[in-house]
Amino acid sequence: MKIPAVFFDHKKRNLILWLTDMTVAIASYFYITDPFYISQVLERMDFAAIRPDIDPEVFQSPFFQEFMFQVISIVAIVTIALIAFLHTIAFYKCYQRKTAAIAYVKVYSCLAAVSLMMWFLYNVSLFNMLILIPAAIYTFVFLVERQPRSPQPAVDNILKS
């Protein structure tokens, strides 16, 4: 597999990764807060087993559905904003070539690529093929990202002489 040349420059790579991550975060928000998705999740949940002390009819009411939509929307905004903020810091530190940030970006890009591919496999459709673009970007970042080589200490050079 030939990796595009733009991924070999760590400055451009981190910018592409940040833009991809922010795009995936925004798309995730709209996916998670879609009323159709929320209603599907609520239908699969067994609230009677979770809270047997509450009448099951309450969980089927339109008020409960609206309440869950509002709660999920607020939680999604806060969670995605927090993740976007922390990833911005991590990508900036990786841009500065900090060792821990580089390791985080490498692990994160691998897990993100695997996660997106698994999501695609369980939701195969023509429209969902768009998810292959960020999955490819995360894969390229994982394959190219490397820790900077540290220079040999002066002691090693003295011992060799």
pLDDT band at 158 (very low <50, low <70, confident <90, very high): low
Mean pLDDT of 3-7: 86
* CA-to-CA dists, residue 42 to 30, 69, 103, 143, angstroms: 17, 10, 37, 39
84-123 per-position pLDDT tens digit: 999 999 999 999 999 999 999 999 999 999 999 999 998 8
Mean pLDDT of 133-144: 94
40-52 per-position pLDDT tens digit: 888 888 887 888 8
pTM for this one?
0.79
Backbone angles phi and psi of 53, in degrees to 5: -80, -10
Backbone angles phi and psi of 152, in degrees to 5: -65, 135
